[in-house]
Amino acid sequence: MRVFIDQMIRQELAKTLRDHGHDVIRASEIGLERADDAVILDVACREGRVLLTLDGHFGNWAVLPLNRHPGVVRLKVHPPTVSAIESLLISFLAKHRQAEFENRLVILSLKRARWIKTSTDGK
């Protein structure tokens, strides 16, 4: 899967995802360690990558509207340690194809994955 990891997620997770066969770019690897959320989303969209984030602004339509995008997975893990995120995310990604995430916000926690359709154009 092609993924884009925002600046809130540590580099160890990128390595683990790569070790599991995912094509990963981290925001900080391309000079976006202090980028605004809208910029992060724009780059993920242009690159055709599912965005992985801990940021609660993703899903708050008043702050950051989502319409057409390759997918956003907002991780709700407390505390957000690398091992806690890895154990949740690796198995979740293995169960899904990239196309399933298109125009969906997934709020992923230890208890469940909530899939929210964000596009209103029928896709």
CB 48 within 8 A of CB 22: no
- pLDDT at position 49: 97
Please, which pLDDT band fits residue 99 given cuts at 50, 70 and 90? very high
| Those residues with Cβ within 8 angstroms of residue 51's Cβ, 6 or more apart along the chain or in another chain | 3, 4, 5, 6, 40, 41, 44, 58, 69, 70, 71, 72, 73
For the chain, the structural domain boundaries read 2-117
Fold of domain 2-117: Rossmann fold (3.40.50)
Whether the predicted pLDDT of 48 surpasses 90 = yes
Please, which pLDDT band fits residue 121 given cuts at 50, 70 and 90? low
